[in-house]
Structures are given as C-alpha cells and as structure tokens.
C-alpha cells in the first residue's frame, strides 16, 4: 500500500495556495517553512507538463450548488445516487464522458464549494479504475459500485476524536515533556483539544490512558527485574533513561523485547495517571487503558507494541460505524504516532491534528510524520477540523485509501 500512496500524493495540489491566501490557509497542515518548500515544489510541478501542469495553473471555479447535499439529506438512497449521476451526465446519454467525470471529482473533492485541484494524471487514473468494462465511459453501475462508499464517507463521515494520554505525568509529573529533548509543554494541548471538543460535533470521543502496573517493563527503575539479551545495544544495568534495551521476552513473546526506558510514570490509580484537570470530559466517551501487561509496553491505543493483544478501541469504534479518526494528545512521536498508524492500518481515514499534539524529540517527530504521511494519514491544524467533520471540506488525499479499499473489496482494483 505504501508505494501506492507515495505515488498518489503527488497528484493532489492545493491550487488555491497559488491563487488565494484563503485557500492557502486551508492547507495549514504544514508549518511555515514546509509551506514555502511545498509552494516551491508546486511551482516546479506546474512547470512540468508531464505532471499536467498546463491545466493545473487554472484553479477550477467555485460552484453554487453542491449535488451531494441531497444525497446526505436523503440518507444516500439509491434514487438519490441516480439523481446525482444524472446531474453530471451532460449529454443525457446515461453515461459520463471524461469531462463529466472530471466535474464529478471537482464537486466531490472541494472545500465549501471550492474544488481542490486534482492533476489530470490522477483524474485519468480514477477514470480507468472506475471504468470496469473499459468502454471509455462511466455508466451508472460503474459509478455506483466504485464510488458509493467513498462518496458517503466523504460527504457524511462518522468521526471520532481520540485523545491520547493527556495525563498529569506527561505534563507536570515524572515524564513531563518539558524535560524531554524537544522541550515541549504538554499542557499546551489542553486548550486546543478543549476548543476542538466545543466547536466540533464528533460522533464519538475516546480518551486513552497509559496505565501501568508497578513492575512495568518500561520503567527505568525496573531495569534490574529482567535480563537483557547479549544483542541489546546496552545492557540493562548500564542503561540510562531513554536508552533502548532488548530484554529477554516473557512467555508468549518470540525473541527479545525492545524497550525504551522511561522514568516510572502513569502508575495505575495514582494522580500522575489522571487526565489533566482542565481537559473537558465528554459524557458517554470511550475510555481505553493500555500498557497494563507488565511485560509488554503499549504505545498505540489499538495494539500493544508486540501486536499480541488489542484493546477494545477498534471494536468500539466499529460498533459506532466510525469512518474517520482524528488523533490528538501526547506524545506526538510515541503514543500519538503509534495510534495514528494503527488507525490507518485498521482502514480509518486518519487525521492528526498537529497543534493539539506535543512530542518528545523533534527529529523523531519528523521521522514519524513522514512515515504516517506515506501511509495515508494527513496532518492538519485544528482550525480546519470543523469543516472536515461536517463533510463540507472533502479532501482528496483522505478519500483515496477508502476508494482503493472499496475497489479491492469488489474485486476491481488493478494497480498499473
């Protein structure tokens, strides 16, 4: 899957960033420096005809009518899908030309009726993937099979906010982020997350907790309790805080267990394991406790680090028909990144809200950011989240994974 996303990501170009500061702001998923380098690379892209630069320099015009509104209002009935199909059928021949298909993509992938730019190569790729019988036009059945799930998800996503480990020990306690190499202030995520909770109507909110027993493998103070393997980069008795040790695995674990040593933190039922006092508690939320097995750490809120046992999070999200997972909290390069990666692996459209996260190590944050991006997770600032959750801001890069999964499920995916 990864090479595919690498390939696909090249084709989503925020046209507006070139022509409109308003739309540029909607791509605030990059910091200023990255933003400039992206703009530069877009400049290169536009001058390259092989990337479809010619037409990409013209931003598709905004449209007045959103043909997907009535699909949403009528709960995606088959009749509404037919009406939607007819809307783009300019020749009234019961099929779409390439131009009809392009108009469909522009309307679907838009932000408040302003289309995102999708380069012609990708439009062609989508067209070929949708045109099952290869007759160079899209009939209703092809449209319906290929796009039903993706449209539904883009227009009416079911969104969960997963708040990772906003616990006292990571903010002011034994593993406070301000003492870690990046010198981040963990507390800064609290007002941002609270604002997101107040402003955005999430279908589901989940809180995760690092929740360790006293004899947990990740504690520096416990390094003498277990034997390290000869191939460990450093033996347990010589290790310092933040060193990685390979311990002899306990029963059920094949081989050694690689473990970063952290100061003892988030011990079950201690004040350090409580959520920050100012963090808003949402009623009927999901609460996930991880890292409870003394022998295996668990950065992700879905699986432990050895992927031997899963928490209830995935089942609880699936029970609630969640399609989109927004990840926030602490720490960006550890538990937030692992949770986001597993959300992608579990086929959720995954979004990391960057200004609602703080991390341990800047270099590692960059490494994780690249890996997550390649896997299909996108990074945004909290100010764009209301539009995305409401289905008004429909981004092509988050829809791609679901489209491909759908094609695979119906047996029509053929990577070229």
Kindly list the catalytic residues: 165, 290, 335
> Can you read off the two tokens belonging to residue 397?
């890069």
Beta carbon nearer to Zn ion, 142 or 333: 333
Q: Residues with Cβ < 8 Å from 185, sequence gap 6 or more?
A: 177, 178, 358
For the CB of residue 165, give the shortest distance to Zn ion in the complex, in Å: 8
Torsion of CA 117, 54, 5, 38, to 10 degrees: -80
Q: For residues 344 and 336, is the Cβ–Cβ distance under 8 A?
A: no
Strand partners, 111: 114, 393
Nearer to Zn ion, 173 or 291 (CB): 291
Closer Cβ to Zn ion, 16 or 291, answer by number: 291
* Minimum CB distance to Zn ion, residue 220 (Å): 12
In the complex, the smallest distance separating the C-beta of residue 206 from Zn ion, rounded to whole angstroms, is 18
Interhelix angle 120-130/98-108, rounded to 10 degrees, is 110
Minimum CB–partner distance for residue 218 and Zn ion (Å): 5
In this complex, which beta carbon is closest to Zn ion, that of residue 149 or of residue 216? 216
Longest Cα pair distance anywhere in the chain, in angstroms? 77
Nearer to Zn ion, 209 or 348 (CB): 209
Contacts of 141 (CB under 8 A, 6+ apart): none
Strands across the sheet with 286-290, in order?
Answer: 286-290, 204-210, 159-164, 324-330, 349-358, 378-380
Residues 6+ apart with CB under 8 A from 408: none
In our burial notation (b when 16+ CB lie closer than 10 A, e otherwise), range 390-406 reads ebebbbbbbbbbbbbeb
The length of the chain, given as a count of residues: 416
Residue 66 or 165: the one with the smaller Cβ distance to Zn ion is 165
Token pair recorded at residue 225: 């309790």
Tell me whether residue 142 or residue 210 sits nearer to Zn ion (CB atom).
Answer: 210
Site of interaction with Zn ion (CB under 5 A): 210, 291
Q: Least distance to Zn ion from the beta carbon of 291, Å?
A: 5
Considering only CA atoms, which of 285, 288, 378 is closest in space to residue 324?
Answer: 378
- CB closest to Zn ion, residue no: 210
Do 411 and 382 contact (CB within 8 A), yes or no?
A: no
Tokens linked to 274:
């409580």
Closer residue to Zn ion, CB minimum distance, 46 or 220: 220
User: Which one, of 139, 94, 155, 122, lies nearest residue 11 by Cα?
Assistant: 122
d(CA 116, CA 20): 12
CB of 109 to Zn ion, least distance (A): 39
Question: E strands, 43-181, where?
Answer: 95-96, 110-111, 114-115, 117-118, 138-139, 159-164
Q: Provide the minimum distance between the beta carbon of 254 and Zn ion in the complex, in angstroms, as a whole number.
A: 22
For residue 167, give the DSSP letter. Answer: B
CB of 170 vs Zn ion, minimal distance in Å:
9
């Amino acid at each position: 899957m990864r090479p595919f996303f690498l390939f696909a990501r090249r084709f989503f170009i925020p046209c507006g960033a070139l022509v409109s500061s308003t739309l540029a702001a909607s791509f605030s998923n990059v910091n200023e420096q990255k933003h400039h380098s992206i703009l530069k690379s877009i400049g290169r892209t536009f001058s390259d005809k092989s990337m479809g630069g010619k037409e990409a320099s013209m931003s598709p015009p905004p449209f007045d009518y959103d043909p997907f509104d009535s699909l949403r209002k009528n709960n995606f009935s088959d009749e509404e899908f037919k009406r939607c199909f007819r809307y783009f059928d300019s020749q009234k021949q019961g099929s779409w030309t390439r131009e009809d298909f392009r108009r469909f993509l522009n309307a679907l992938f838009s932000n408040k009726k302003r289309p995102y730019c999708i380069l012609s190569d990708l439009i062609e790729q989508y067209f070929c993937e949708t045109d099952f019988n290869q007759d160079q036009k899209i009939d209703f059945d092809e449209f319906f099979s290929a796009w039903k799930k993706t449209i539904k998800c883009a227009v009416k996503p079911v969104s969960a906010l997963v708040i990772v480990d906003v616990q006292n020990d990571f903010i002011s306690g034994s593993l406070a982020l301000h003492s870690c190499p990046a010198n981040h202030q963990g507390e800064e995520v609290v007002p941002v997350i609270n604002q997101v909770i107040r402003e955005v109507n999430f279908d589901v909110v989940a809180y995760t907790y690092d929740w360790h027993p006293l004899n947990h493998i990740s504690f520096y103070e416990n390094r003498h309790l277990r034997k390290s393997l000869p191939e460990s980069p450093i033996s347990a008795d010589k290790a310092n805080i933040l060193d990685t040790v390979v311990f002899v695995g306990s029963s059920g674990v094949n081989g050694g267990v690689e473990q970063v040593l952290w100061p003892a933190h988030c011990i079950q039922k201690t004040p350090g394991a409580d959520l920050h006092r100012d963090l808003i508690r949402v009623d009927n939320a999901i609460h996930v406790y991880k890292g409870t097995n003394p022998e295996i750490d668990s950065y992700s809120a879905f699986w432990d680090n050895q992927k031997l046992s899963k928490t209830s999070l995935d089942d609880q999200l699936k029970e609630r028909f969640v399609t989109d997972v927004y990840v926030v909290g602490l720490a960006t390069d550890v538990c937030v990144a692992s949770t986001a990666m597993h959300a992608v692996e579990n086929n959720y459209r995954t979004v990391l809200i960057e200004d609602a996260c703080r991390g341990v190590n800047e270099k590692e944050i960059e490494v994780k950011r690249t890996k997550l991006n390649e896997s299909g997770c996108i990074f945004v600032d909290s100010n764009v989240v209301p539009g995305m959750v409401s289905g008004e801001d429909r981004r092509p890069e988050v829809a791609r994974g679901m489209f491909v999964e759908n094609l695979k499920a119906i047996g029509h995916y053929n990577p070229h």
